[in-house]
């Protein structure tokens, strides 16, 4: 191979090139050799075996130029049921090095891209995306997934190839390249952990007891089914109440944030928009016939009172704050 020239490979009669599917060793070999053609070297000393990168990053997780396999993508020596996959793209450090040499390709994936992943086995890749409003969609996943939208961050998505009765979760197998912004994420049916970035994120947990952290930016946080834990971080955030399970809003600020109520669920709010002052009550119980939202500022529990008068036990839908009680008013709510 030659730098900036055509990449060619000769077939050796000693090797079998039968499987060229994405994730196969043969596919990875092509990606690896193209890396050499672009000027990338092995991250270890070919003669002495000494690493030119720190041992912690001298593996497939960070560079396709390594020879060291990565357990998070399913390489478990001695366990034949778990096969594992090789990288299908240049990885985090490879992309950084290629962009140092040639600059970033700002024409790749400039639209609104949705990244979905297999739930049959692991994928092992790093995502470069030059623009648009993009999303990770894990709605088909069933394990406890980890989504990290921070540039340079790793997500744990899907499972390693394994027996059906023994699924093993993949670990930090999907990376987002540096200087890439993925805005939105949708979780699956497990207990997912979703972390946003500095953009305005729309983060939805799906079913399961999820943990969602928007970090910076004006974020929309949707726990979905289950008892979820939502943290907005900096910015003016929207905490969405989609069902009647009880979520925790860890850092809700009445000065900056807003609680969204799905009026298809909370049917007393037939119109979209702000909540009338008469429909909100601060105290332990409803006070008259139309107190549909009741906020107990002692235990910080927000409840939905269907009949508005407390005759039927109200349904707790959120805990507002962890160690302090927010000064809520009707102005902090909007029906959608």
Q: Which of 328, 235, 315 is nearest to 275 (CA)?
A: 328
200 CA to centre of own chain? 14
- What distance, in Å, lies between the first and last C-alpha atoms of the chain? 58
* CB count in 10 Å sphere of residue 41: 12
* Distance of alpha carbon 296 from the chain centroid: 33
- Check: CB of residue 187 under 8 Å from CB of residue 169: no
- List CB contacts of 104: < 8 A, sequence separation 6 or more: 130, 179
Radius of gyration of the chain (CA): 25
Which residue stretches of 226-281 are H helix? none
**Residue closest to 248 by CA, chosen among 156, 316, 170:** 316
Q: What share of the chain is helix, strand, coil (3-state, %, to 5)?
A: 10, 20, 65
Tell me which of 33, 172, 262, 306 is the catalytic residue: 33
Asked whether the beta carbons of 269 and 293 are under 8 A apart, the reply is: no
**What tokens were used for 115?**
């990244």
State yes or no: is 33 an active-site residue.
yes
Instruction: Give catalytic residues, as residue numbers.
Output: 33
């Amino acid at each position: 191979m030659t730098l900036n020239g055509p990449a060619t490979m000769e077939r050796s009669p000693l090797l079998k090139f039968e499987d060229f599917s994405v994730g196969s060793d043969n596919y990875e070999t092509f990606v690896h050799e193209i890396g050499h053609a672009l000027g990338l070297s092995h991250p270890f000393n070919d003669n002495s075996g000494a690493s030119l990168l720190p041992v912690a990053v001298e593996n497939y997780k960070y560079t396709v130029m390594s020879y060291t396999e990565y357990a998070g993508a399913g390489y478990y020596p001695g366990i034949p049921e778990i096969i594992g996959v090789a990288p299908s793209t240049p990885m985090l450090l490879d992309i950084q090095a290629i962009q140092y040499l040639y600059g970033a390709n700002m024409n790749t994936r400039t639209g609104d891209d949705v990244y979905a992943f297999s739930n049959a086995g692991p994928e092992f890749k790093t995502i470069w995306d030059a623009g648009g409003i993009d999303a990770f969609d894990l709605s088909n996943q069933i394990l406890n997934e980890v989504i990290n939208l921070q540039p340079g961050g790793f997500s744990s998505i899907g499972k390693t190839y394994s027996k059906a009765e023994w699924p093993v979760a993949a670990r930090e197998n999907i990376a987002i390249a540096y200087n890439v912004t993925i805005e939105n994420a949708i979780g699956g049916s497990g207990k997912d952990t979703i972390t946003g970035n500095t953009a305005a994120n729309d983060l939805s947990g799906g079913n399961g007891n999820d943990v969602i952290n928007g970090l910076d930016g004006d974020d929309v946080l949707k726990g979905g089914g289950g008892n979820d834990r939502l943290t907005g971080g900096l910015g003016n955030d929207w905490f969405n109440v989609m069902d009647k399970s009880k979520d925790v809003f860890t850092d809700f600020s009445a000065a900056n944030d807003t609680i969204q109520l799905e009026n298809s669920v909370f049917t007393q709010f037939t119109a979209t928009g702000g909540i009338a002052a008469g429909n909100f009550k601060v105290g332990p119980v409803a006070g008259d016939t139309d107190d549909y939202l009741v906020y107990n500022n002692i235990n910080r529990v927000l409840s939905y009172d269907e009949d508005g008068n407390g005759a039927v036990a109200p349904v707790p839908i959120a805990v507002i704050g962890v160690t302090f009680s927010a000064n809520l008013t009707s102005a902090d709510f909007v029906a959608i």
